[in-house]
Amino acid sequence: MTPAEEAAGAAASRTPAASASRAPAASDAHPAVTPPAPAAPDTGAPAPFTLHGRKVVGGVVEGEALVSRETISGWGGIDPATGTVTERRHELFGVCFTGKILVFPGAKGSSGWSGFFQATRLLGTAPLGMIFTVTTTKSALGAVVTRVPALTDLDRDPVAAIRTGDWLRLDADHGIVTVTPRAAREAERAG
């Protein structure tokens, strides 16, 4: 081969066509790229969301929300023996809060509020947790003596954001409430 032929061959091996035809070397390997996760099916159900607040009593619980737009009276407003609201004009009259996460604006009435909620703990009818908007000595002491995880001062009004039947994960230790709307849970179950 003449020097001119060798130069022509070397030039040809540097052309894009020659590069494209060669087998990839190990040094050409790219790092693994994880494909994006498939999009969740659009069910039309509201998506879960998170609220942040201030711990009153620590602990973590999960359960169904029971929301009251009205403040709750302790003394004369609840029956500790049954864990029900007994105030006749209250929107939750006759509704049992036992085993639910009670979401309400705050406490009203006498200082006996905390004593009545403490009685629910002693009788096994206490709510699972508490989330309230306005902190007063009644509501704070009530949460403490009931010994259930409790949050207040959330970044959104919990009474407006959460609905009865929503599923909550209340992590009072970290000041987080994860809300799974009831419709989202039903859509998930339906598949």
The answer to whether 49 and 179 are in contact (CB under 8 A) is yes
Q: Using DSSP, state whether 103 is helix, strand or coil.
A: strand
Spell out the residues 6+ positions from residue 129 whose beta carbon is closer than 8 angstroms to its own. 59, 61, 63, 101, 102, 148, 149, 150, 168, 170, 172
Amino acid letter for position 22: R
Residue 110 annotated among the catalytic residues of the structure: yes
Q: Report H helices in the chain.
A: 3-13, 16-21, 113-123, 137-146, 158-161, 182-190
- DSSP readout, 60-71? EEEEEEEE-SS-
Active-site residue, from 13, 21, 27, 110: 110
Catalytic residues, by residue number, are 110
